[in-house]
């Protein structure tokens, strides 16, 4: 895993801009702590920070390749190509010679052999930039599901790109400008494809290619979700899901550095850990879980969490013989100013939703990094197999909006509570959400003759995969790469996504439980207690000391007349929050607006934003 960046400008001499390129590259040092590299010619400058995973001594980037002694292409690449060994053999048969054992060189030679059509052959997570020296064209490519991020910023005579906004913002040509639409993207729990919170900055859409040359900028899709008849019976479907997932995990357990799994004791992470253990044979798989000190003793059931994770994670670890480690956090660590600043700097935007999950993930990944460089995650199973409550709530299914923003679920994504009423009126989130929802529905592929139930569940699945999952993948990427840990996501194998997207709902929900198809496919690697466990989200602190710390910070904000977020707030309402009496238990859905306000203020303060609201 790595950090990539670059700058193309047909009116500038890039040999005079090397210092700027170095700053852009250095901004991504956390993503690639092991090595760095830059390359430039007259009109293109490319940077790379490396986290060494495969072929530790080779594979340095940016990497050049060509024919007959002439460099034709330069590559900067972030990610992993899981089928690179098969592609290497195919390319060798076509006459290509290799100097390293890296997937980077395979990717570069694949471009020389097949051009952009190489994307149809790739199995992996990737974001890459290729500078074609012969045609003077920049090619940006992002993986099908969007596991790896990739941003770009057109300028009057060129383009900037990077793994994270910070790389682009390190260039003086990029403005740090926030408009009303940027605020809408921050405060509504949807991720509009291609849009970012910064004016003028865009994200390469998953499964897409962006090209930039003297002719200008163009975009095209090389992959998208497609509707197709599902002809397999239930037994065959279960076996196919099992075979694809098992193969995906096996492929993703390949690394030249220590590797582990993230194990919560839920169905998804347990399935990944179970298949990982199966793939390792006699070697023990290593696993990690996270919880809060005294949570077992003080845990209180809430609307979505019926029990602590720890006993279930231990049961799975014992079942598969994993070497398991429990990372226990104290709530005071979540309030640490350095930790919260590191989270913000990793995100380049406010952490409006999920509150304490951001610092707890950061701390978990930082702890894991002491033992492993790669971790496998169970992310994306809920979106693919229908794990969330809104997949099973008739009111949410039938609602004319994103299902996670309906009563019963929307309170977990409510961050507007302390904003000034006039600003909330200007934002008009409901109208913005409606527009984005209708826009998304138009994209959903149609299968002629499909039942009304299957059609609607296809829509729900599409919305989750393209507007909800992206926020979770970003969360995993930023918090893990902030400490130089690579997180892989086997459920995002495009073969699995393509297949399950077309499985009828009655098969996905065969026994009436969430993710029953996945339960059946993973049954052979699960103990009964995990097989029967209902979905439980990532742990959240219930410690009232955490909420008290947030209220103290809010009081400081209100007392500071120069606090940048202060003009955006309902000061009277915010003042009442600082005077709330302590509760015995603090629930995450009761502190969403508090978390959002504080994060917004930190971001505006540290990033010196130009406001256009």
- Is-catalytic flag, 492? no
Q: For residue 219, what are the β-bridge partners? A: 210
What tokens were used for 323? 């070497």
Specify the pTM: 0.96
For the chain, which ranges sit under pLDDT 70?
1, 66-70, 295-306
Residue 292 is predicted with a pLDDT of 87
Taking the mean position of all CA atoms in its chain, how far away is CA 534? 24
For 532-558, give the DSSP string.
Answer: TPPP--S-----HHHHHHHHHHHHHHH
Residue 591 is predicted with a pLDDT of 87
Residue 296 is predicted with a pLDDT of 58
CATH T-level fold of 2-221: 3.60.20
Span(s) in the chain for CATH 3.40.50.620: 234-400+462-531
Q: Which of 2, 78, 260, 492 is catalytic?
A: 2
Residue 500 is predicted with a pLDDT of 98
Residue 47 is predicted with a pLDDT of 98
CATH-assigned architecture of domain 234-400+462-531: 3-Layer(aba) Sandwich (3.40)
Residue 583 is predicted with a pLDDT of 72
Span(s) in the chain for CATH 3.60.20.10: 2-221
Those residues whose C-beta lies under 8 Å from the C-beta of residue 85, and which sit 6 or more positions away, are: none
What tokens were used for 481? 């790469």
What is the C-alpha to C-alpha distance for residues 526 and 532, in angstroms, rounded to an integer?
Answer: 10
The dihedral of CA 95, 100, 106, 111: what is its sign?
negative
The helix-helix angle for 494-501 and 452-463 (nearest 10°) equals 150
What is the C-alpha to C-alpha distance for residues 545 and 494, in angstroms, rounded to an integer?
Answer: 43
What is the C-alpha to C-alpha distance for residues 78 and 103, in angstroms, rounded to an integer?
Answer: 11
Residue ranges in 149-308 assigned as alpha helix (H): 165-169, 180-187, 234-252, 267-280, 295-298
Residue 582 is predicted with a pLDDT of 72
């Amino acid at each position: 895993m790595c950090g990539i960046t670059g700058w193309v400008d047909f009116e500038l001499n890039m040999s005079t801009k090397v210092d700027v390129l170095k700053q852009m590259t250095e901004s991504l040092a956390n993503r690639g702590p092991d090595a760095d590299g830059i390359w430039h010619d007259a009109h293109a400058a490319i940077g790379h920070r490396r986290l060494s995973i495969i072929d530790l001594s080779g594979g340095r980037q940016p990497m050049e390749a060509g024919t007959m002694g002439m460099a034709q292409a330069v590559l900067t690449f972030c990610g992993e190509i899981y089928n690179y060994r098969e592609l290497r053999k195919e390319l060798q048969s076509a006459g290509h010679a290799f100097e390293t054992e890296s997937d980077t060189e395979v990717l570069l030679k694949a471009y020389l052999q097949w051009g952009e059509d190489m994307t149809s052959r790739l199995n992996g997570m990737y974001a890459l930039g290729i500078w074609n020296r012969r045609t003077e064209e920049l090619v940006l490519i992002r993986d099908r599901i969007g596991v790896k991020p990739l941003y770009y910023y057109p300028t009057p005579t060129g383009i900037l790109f990077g793994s994270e906004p910070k790389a682009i913002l390190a260039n003086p040509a990029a403005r740090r400008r926030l408009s009303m639409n940027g605020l809408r993207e921050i405060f509504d729990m949807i991720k509009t494809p291609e849009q970012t919170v910064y004016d003028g900055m865009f994200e390469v859409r998953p499964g897409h290619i962006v090209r930039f040359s003297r002719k200008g900028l163009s975009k095209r899709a090389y992959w998208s979700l497609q509707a197709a008849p599902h002809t397999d019976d239930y037994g065959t479907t279960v076996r196919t899901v099992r075979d694809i997932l098992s193969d995906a995990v096996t492929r993703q357990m390949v690394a030249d550095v220590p590797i582990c799994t993230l194990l919560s004791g839920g169905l998804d992470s347990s399935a990944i850990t179970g298949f990982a253990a199966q793939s390792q044979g006699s070697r023990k798989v290593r696993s990690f879980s996270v919880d809060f000190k005294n949570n077992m003793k003080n845990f209180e059931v809430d609307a979505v969490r019926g029990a602590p994770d720890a006993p279930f994670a231990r049961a799975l670890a014992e079942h598969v013989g994993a070497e398991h480690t429990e990372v226990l956090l104290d709530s005071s660590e979540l309030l640490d100013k350095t930790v919260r600043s590191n989270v913000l700097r990793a995100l380049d935007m406010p952490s409006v939703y999920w509150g304490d999950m951001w610092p707890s993930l950061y701390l978990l990944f930082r702890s894991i990094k002491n033992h492993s460089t790669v971790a496998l995650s169970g992310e994306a199973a809920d979106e693919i197999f229908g794990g969330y409550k809104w997949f099973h709530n008739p009111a949410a299914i039938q609602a004319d909006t994103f299902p996670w923003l309906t009563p019963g679920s929307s309170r977990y994504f409510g961050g507007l509570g302390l904003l000034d009423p006039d600003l909330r009126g200007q934002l008009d989130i409901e109208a913005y959400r409606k527009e984005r929802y209708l826009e998304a529905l138009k994209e959903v592929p149609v299968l002629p003759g499909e039942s009304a139930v299957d059609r609607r569940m296809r829509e729900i699945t599409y919305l989750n995969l393209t507007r909800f999952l992206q926020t979770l993948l970003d969360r995993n990427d930023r918090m893990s790469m902030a400490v130089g840990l690579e997180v892989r996501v086997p459920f995002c194998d495009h073969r699995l996504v393509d297949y399950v997207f077309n499985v009828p709902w009655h098969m996905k929900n065969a026994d009436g439980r969430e993710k029953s198809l996945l339960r059946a496919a993973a049954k052979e690697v699960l103990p009964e207690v995990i097989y029967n466990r209902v979905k439980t989200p990532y742990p959240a602190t219930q410690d009232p000391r955490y909420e008290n710390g947030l209220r103290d910070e809010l009081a400081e904000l209100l007392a500071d007349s120069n606090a940048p977020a202060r003009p955006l707030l309902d000061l009277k309402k915010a003042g009442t929050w600082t005077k709330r009496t302590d509760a015995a238990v603090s629930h995450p859905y009761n502190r969403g607006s508090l978390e959002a306000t504080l994060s917004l203020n930190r971001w505006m303060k540290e990033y010196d934003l130009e406001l256009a609201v």
